[in-house]
Structure 1
Amino acid sequence: MASANDPFQFQEFEEAGNLLEANRDATTISIEDEDVKPEKQRRAAGLNPAAGGGDDEDAGDYDDKTELLSGQQKSPPFWTFEYYQQFFDIETHHVKERIIGSVLPWPGKNFIQVYLRRNPDLYGPFWICTTLVFAIAISGNISNFLVHLGKPNYKYTPEFQKVTIAATAIFSYAWLVPFALWGVLLWRNNKTMNLVSYSFMEIICVYGYSLSIYIPAVVLWIFPFEWLRWCSIVVALCLSGSVLVMTFWPAVRDDHPKVIVAIMSAVVLFNILLAVGCKTYFFSKPEPALPANNSSVAVVIKTTSTT
């Protein structure tokens, strides 16, 4: 029989609480499996070592998260849908503020610096141009109907080709003119280093929102009064041209005087050509009414010409 003080005799250990209570100065050592801590660290980092064959994919996901959190996420190429998707991600109140800012320009306020804040969008310009296209086509058809209303030989036929022509004119102005202006400003910026530079999307955004004033003006063109039409054209040209001039003036004011005059004149001239061209093509001029005493003479002339 083993003695009571036999050191090799199996003894049951007491509870850890009793042992610590007996000796509070004792040093405790926590022994952990070597594989547990690295696994916890890998799980905290977002990696799952249990997934077989997925180390490369997990590493790629970890790199993407790291780039996104550090603000170094790569921008998608411009020919992809994801690149243009960011320009349609805008709040409604921002679009409202930009429309109001384009309709009511204030001296000394640059539209890009005040309203865009380096965050241009294509949502507002696209729907403004689309609304203006249908407004011109519909108002033009209604205006022609009112002008020829009451004539016995007139038969109304809707002119759907006006939608295509209006779309070609409006979207060409809203895209091609900004593209040409962006190229010229980029060329002059390489020549003169201290010029203010705008991106292509910012210029398109300015031109798109500058067309919003023409929508109510086109609606007024329905009424067959030339004085009303020309008054609305003048008001729309002044407001729209003011937005363009005040926006692009800081980009050219330090350039050569001849270049300044050429660029600003081209900006204003294309704006005038768009407004006057749409009014002339889509809206017929009211025909003057014949005097009552000459009505019989006109009937006689028409009869003899047909025979």
Structure 2
Amino acid sequence: MAAPDELKFHEFDEAMDLLAANADAATTSRNSEQQSHTTVNMSSSYNEEPEEEDDKTELLSSQKKQSSFWTFEYYQAFFDVDTYQVLDRIKGSLLPVPGKNFVWHRLRNHPDLYGPFWICTTLIFTLAISGNLSNFLEKMGSPYFHYSPQFHKVSIAAVVIYCYAWLVPLGLWGCLQWRKGIHTSVDTYTFMEMVCIYGYSLFVYIPTAVLWLIPVPWLQWLLIIFAVGLSGAVLVLTFWPIIRSDTKPAACAILAVIVSLHILLAIGCKMYFFQKPTTSSPVLYTTVAANTRGTHYHLTNSSASLQL
């Protein structure tokens, strides 16, 4: 039969002696295991969050890509602006500062159609109403003047303003795309950004059209110069940074077309809607006489008589 000493677990005793001698080592190893376990858990949770964010980003991008040009959701994004953004962009169109691009500092890759639409619409009715009032004030003292509202001016103003605010940016966008294909260094804006630029640049003409009611010719022309200079500066400071990388003749030609069309719009609106009525020197009187044989129309002037 084996002795009692042979049944002892000598290895266990030796291990206990080692643990008793190095108790701090056991605690340290245990803590290190916990720390390593905790570190692994934190890293795993950290890696899971970006994956979830990436999934959300891909989902949102896929939803944006689904909106087509012919859908309502495509245009809904261009009306997603608040009052402060619209007022800030109007302020930028009235106070052009050299070195601050309207697209880069005001739009910030988020063009809208809300501001340009209402600015153009307001300008249309302002031109038509102010033109009618100007015509009425000019002829109000004449005893032979009979006022009749000129509603056709609303249609003409709508055609002119909307064509300028949409067709000119479209032509300019196509021209810059063509120049970009020839010279890769030429940069360009999106079509909606150009529409937004032209729309906000017309805001200065709204108060100018109201002030054109003052029947002082030199003041009216001074207002035209001020409005054209202010709104034209916005266009020049916005488009020059992207067209100056083109050849010098092409850049000067594009800039000259932009400024010329802007000047023609202002002068055309002034000459048509606020033209001074012409007064004829001889006054014509029409009398109608009837007899038993027929009707005779006498158009009598101060010096002649015409019988039909």
TM-score, with structure 2 as normaliser: 0.72
Query: Counterparts of 1:8-157 in structure 2 under 5 Å?
Result: 66=56, 69=59, 71-75=61-65, 76-157=67-148
Distance 1:284 1:261, change over 3 A: same
List per-residue Cα deviations over 1:30-78 (Å, max 9, x = no partner). xxxxxxxxxxxxxxxxxxxxxxxxxxxxxxxxxxx85665644333111
Paired with 1:302 and 1:289, the residues of 2 have a C-alpha distance of: 12
SS state of the match for residue 83, structure 1?
A: helix
Count of residues in Structure 1 that have an aligned counterpart in Structure 2: 237
Distance of 1:305 and 1:280 partners within structure 2 = 35
State the AA in 2 paired with 1:304.
Answer: S
Q: Displacement of 1:288 after TM fit?
A: 8.3
Higher strand proportion: 2
SS at match of 2:189: coil
Q: Is the 8 A contact 1:224 1:285 kept in 2?
A: no
- Cα distance, 1:257 vs structure 2: 1.1
Structure-2 separation of matches of 1:125 and 1:249: 21
Instruction: Say if 1:139 and 1:218, in contact at 8 Å, map to a contact too.
Output: yes
State the 1:128 CA deviation.
0.2
SS in 2 for 1:163: helix
Residues 82 and 298 from structure 1, CA distance in 2 versus in 1: closer, same or farther, beyond 3 angstroms? Answer: closer
Q: Unaligned stretches of 5+ in structure 1?
A: 1-64, 291-296
Matches of 2:302 and 2:280, distance apart in 1: 20
Q: 1:178 touches 1:204 (CA, 8 Å); kept in 2?
A: yes
Q: Deviations over 1:212-268 (max 9, x none)?
A: 000000001112211111011000000110000110001110111111111000000
SS of equivalent residue, structure 1 residue 304: coil
Higher Cα Rg, which structure: 2
Matched residue of 1:234: which SS? Answer: helix
Q: Distance in 1 between matches of 2:146 and 2:172?
A: 45
Q: Distance in 2 between matches of 1:172 and 1:182?
A: 15
Match of 1:239 in 2: 230
- Equivalent residue for 2:269, pick from 263, 266, 278: 278
Among all aligned residue pairs of Structure 1 and Structure 2, give the percentage whose two residues are the same amino acid: 52
Stretches of structure 2 that go unaligned for 5 or more consecutive residues are 1-54, 286-299
Measure the CA separation in 2 of the matches of 1:234 and 1:72. Answer: 49
Contact 1:67 1:73 in 2 (8 A): no
2: CA distance between counterparts of 1:299 and 1:245? 52
* CA–CA distance in structure 2, aligned partners of residues 77 and 304 of structure 1: 72
Distance 1:305-1:250 versus aligned 2 partners, 3 A rule: farther
- List per-residue Cα deviations over 1:89-134 (Å, max 9, x = no partner): 1011000000011011111211000100000000000000000000
Deviation at 1:152, TM superposition (A): 1.4
Q: Distance in 1 between matches of 2:129 and 2:251?
A: 38
Equivalent residue number for residue 209 of structure 2: 218
Q: How far apart are the structure 1 equivalents of 2:56 and 2:242?
A: 38
2:302 maps to which residue? 303
User: How big is the shift at 1:194?
Assistant: 1.8
Q: Partners of 2:258 and 2:71 in 1: how far apart?
A: 31
- Secondary structure in structure 1 of the residue aligned to 2:303: helix
TM-score normalised to the size of structure 1? 0.73
**Per-residue deviation, 1:196:** 2.1
Q: Would the aligned equivalents of 1:220 and 1:228 in 2 still touch at CA under 8 Å?
A: no
